């Protein structure tokens, strides 16, 4: 299961279709609060997190998740159109990052890499 | 008297160069001391929109810490009068070491900066010629302080403006990249779904992909310029070998630019300390420009060699050249050359502007020579290197 936290509905659809086409199951969140509720109940195999979700800070959320024992080992891929994404990803402890716009095949291979599916 | 006036003028001009307001205050207080041969002096600065003062400067020989002006005291009287107040014989003894004094209010229009106070250990009789001299000192100080204040304001405003511009570019670029992500993503997704034999649809999708990439490059260039102007362009630090970098770019561009043949030669290897990604951007920009401004089918010659103790990279084209009237503008922002006064070629005209900044960051120079118009140009840059090896 892959959790997608992204506030732009079209990009959210893009992630969903792209990953489902590859045989992954996905759950999407356009609101970081809904995501917070869900992550307490279910743990995904991987998370794709936008840096800004309706004004909320996905990078801080990533840091937070990486500091919690029960979520620390779940790979998080940060996505954003910000040029400083690499730095943000490093600081937040994200496992990887994908700059928008991206090549769909690059995203798939990054997801596969972190799920150790080659 | 003339030499004293000249001293005021000289010190006024010098204080115009000062960035620190306290230095200006010091300079004018000292000038006053010199002009009237006072024993010591200090300045009270008037707090903005308040009727209170603070002591901001005391000259080296001041024998005590001056107490702040008292209401109805000499300082308040001088401030009300707005003109220098000469007190040769105070009504009551002020302090043992202050037998006479001059209080010089510094006013610009109705705004008071403060008062310069000049003090004498012995009783001093002031002569009438000294009054216009001190008036000149007071007016000069007021003018310099006003210029300084206005400059500071302009500086603050322009920093604010640059910051707002950067924020604007950041928001715009983010907002533009979001729809581009969707367009690019879905067209690639569509590309994955169509039949391999459907070459026409694939061709269309490739066009969408190429153009969205171009759009992203344009957005990034605008962002880079706004960062450059704010001094926030980031550079990484590494060591790289220049000739290998140039060769790699030539090889890549020989595939990407089918319209031209790009040759490459080098005589030496050069190790450079700096940002290899940005250097790659410079070489790519210079070669793509050469292709853009020269006819299809023509050659582009790229070489790397040693020249005058520097690593020297040249990109020579056989195109339209640069009109003489444009020579001064080539490295300017948003400059785009017109070919033989015809229409502009696509692009924002930021490539050379950014490239020039990158080369400067690496302590190098970027320049060009134009052969006769219609015969092409040579763009070249020179860089200091940390290591060098002649090819054998």
Return d(Cα B366, Cα A38) in angstroms, integer.
Answer: 56
The answer to whether B299 and B259 are in contact (CB under 8 A) is no
Residue B379: enclosing H or E segment and its boundaries? strand B377-383
Per-residue pLDDT of B261-309, as tens digits, reads: 999 999 889 999 999 989 999 999 999 989 988 888 999 999 999 999 9
For residue B341, pLDDT beyond 60:
no
CA geometry: angle B296, B300, B305, nearest 5 deg? 175
CA geometry: angle B3, B9, B10, nearest 5 deg? 85
Residue B392 pLDDT class (50, 70, 90 cuts)? low
Residue B180 and residue A101: Cβ atoms within 8 Å? yes
Which has the closest alpha carbon to B185: A99, A84, A62?
A: A99
Among A83, A103, A108, the strongest candidate for a mutation testing the B interface, having the largest count of B CBs within 10 A, is: A83
Residue B212 and residue A83: Cβ atoms within 8 Å? no
Which has the closest alpha carbon to A24: A4, A5, A7, A41?
A: A4
Which residues on A lie below 8 Å from B216 (Cβ)? 101
How close A20 comes to chain B (CA, Å)?
12
Q: What is the mean pLDDT of residues B89-106?
A: 83
pLDDT at site B224: 81
Per-residue pLDDT of A67-103, as tens digits, reads: 999 999 999 999 998 878 888 999 999 999 999 999 9
Beta partners for residue B85, in sequence order: B103
Which residues on B lie below 8 Å from A14 (Cβ)? 181-182, 185-186, 189
Residue B343 pLDDT class (50, 70, 90 cuts)? low
Question: Which residue has tokens 């206005």?
Answer: B150
Beta pairing class for B310-317 and B377-383: antiparallel
Residue A118 pLDDT class (50, 70, 90 cuts)? low
Q: Which residues of B12-45 are buried (b: 16+ CB within 10 A; e: fewer)?
A: beebeeeeebeebbbbbbbbbbebbebbbbbbbb
Residues 6+ apart with CB under 8 A from B328: none
Q: What mean pLDDT, rounded, does chain B reach?
A: 88
pLDDT at site B338: 66
Which has the closest alpha carbon to B126: B246, B28, B37?
A: B37
B30/B333: higher pLDDT: B30
pLDDT at site A92: 92
Beta pairing class for A76-80 and A96-99: parallel
Residue B340 pLDDT class (50, 70, 90 cuts)? very low
Q: What is the mean pLDDT of residues B212-232?
A: 82
Give the full edge-to-edge strand order of the sheet including B40-46. B53-58, B40-46, B111-120, B100-108, B85-87
Task: Give the length of chain A.
Answer: 118
ipTM, 2 dp: 0.88
Which has the closest alpha carbon to B135: B62, B94, B81?
A: B81
Q: Which residues of A83-118 are buried (b: 16+ CB within 10 A; e: fewer)?
A: bebeebbeebbbbbbbbbbbebeebbebbeebeeee
- Interface list for chain A against chain B, based on CB atoms closer than 8 Å: 8, 10-11, 14, 17-18, 21, 81-83, 100-105
Which residues on A lie below 8 Å from B192 (Cβ)? 21, 104
DSSP state letters, A26-56: EEEESSHHHHHHHHHH---SEEEEESEETTE
pLDDT above 70 coverage of chain B, percent:
95
**Token pair of B274, please?**
């700096």
Angle at which helix B276-292 crosses helix B351-361, to 10 degrees, equals 140
pLDDT above 90 coverage of chain B, percent:
50
Nearest beta carbon to residue A101 from set B177, B189, B192: B177
The answer to whether B134 and B106 are in contact (CB under 8 A) is no
For residue B380, pLDDT beyond 80:
yes
Residues 6+ apart with CB under 8 A from B115: B43, B44, B46, B53, B69, B75, B78, B79, B103, B104, B105, B106
Per-residue pLDDT of B138-191, as tens digits, reads: 999 999 999 999 999 999 998 888 888 878 877 888 888 889 999 999 999 998
């Amino acid at each position: 299961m892959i959790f997608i936290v992204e506030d732009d509905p079209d990009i959210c659809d893009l992630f969903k279709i792209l990953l489902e086409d590859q045989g992954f199951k996905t759950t999407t969140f356009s609101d970081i609060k809904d995501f917070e509720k869900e992550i307490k109940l279910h743990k995904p195999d991987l998370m794709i997190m936008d840096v800004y979700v309706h004004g909320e800070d996905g990078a801080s959320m990533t840091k937070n998740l990486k500091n919690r024992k029960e979520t620390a080992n779940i790979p998080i891929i940060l996505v954003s159109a910000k040029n400083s994404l690499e730095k943000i990803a490093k600081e937040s402890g994200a496992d990887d990052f994908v700059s928008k716009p991206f090549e769909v095949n690059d995203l798939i291979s990054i997801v596969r890499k972190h799920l150790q599916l080659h | 008297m003339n030499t004293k006036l000249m001293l005021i003028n000289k010190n006024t001009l010098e204080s115009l160069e000062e960035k620190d307001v306290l230095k200006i205050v010091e300079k004018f207080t000292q000038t006053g001391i010199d002009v009237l041969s006072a024993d010591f002096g200090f300045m009270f600065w008037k707090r903005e929109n308040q009727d209170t003062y603070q002591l901001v400067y005391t000259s080296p020989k001041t024998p005590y810490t001056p107490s702040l002006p008292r209401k109805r005291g000499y300082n308040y009287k001088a401030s009300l009068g707005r003109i220098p107040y000469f007190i040769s014989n105070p009504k009551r003894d002020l302090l043992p070491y202050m037998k006479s004094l001059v209080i010089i209010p510094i006013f610009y229009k109705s705004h008071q900066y403060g008062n310069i106070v000049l003090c004498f250990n012995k009783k001093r009789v002031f002569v009438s010629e000294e009054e216009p001299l001190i008036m000149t000192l007071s007016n000069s100080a007021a003018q310099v302080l006003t210029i300084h204040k206005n400059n500071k304001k302009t500086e603050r405003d322009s920093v604010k403006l640059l910051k707002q511009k950067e924020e604007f570019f950041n928001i715009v670029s983010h907002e533009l990249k979001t729809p581009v992500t969707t367009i690019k993503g879905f067209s690639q997704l569509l590309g994955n779904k169509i039949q391999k034999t459907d070459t026409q649809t694939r061709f269309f999708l490739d066009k969408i992909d190429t153009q969205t990439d171009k759009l992203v490059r344009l957005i990034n260039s605008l962002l880079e310029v706004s960062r450059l102007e704010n001094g926030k362009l980031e550079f990484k630090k590494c060591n790289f070998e220049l000739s290998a970098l140039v060769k790699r770019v030539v090889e890549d561009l020989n595939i990407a630019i089918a319209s031209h043949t790009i040759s490459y030669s080098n005589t030496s290897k050069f190790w450079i300390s700096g940002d290899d990604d940005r250097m790659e951007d410079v070489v790519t920009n210079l070669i793509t420009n050469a292709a853009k401004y020269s006819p299809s089918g023509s050659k582009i010659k790229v070489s790397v060699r040693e020249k005058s103790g520097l690593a020297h990279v040249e990109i020579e084209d056989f195109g339209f050249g640069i009109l003489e009237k444009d020579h001064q503008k080539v490295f300017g922002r948003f400059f785009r050359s017109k070919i033989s006064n015809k229409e502009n070629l696509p692009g924002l005209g930021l490539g050379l502007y950014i490239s020039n900044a990158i080369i400067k960051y690496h302590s190098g120079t970027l320049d060009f020579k134009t052969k006769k118009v219609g015969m092409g140009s040579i763009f070249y840059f020179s860089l200091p290197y940390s290591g060098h090896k002649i090819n054998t």
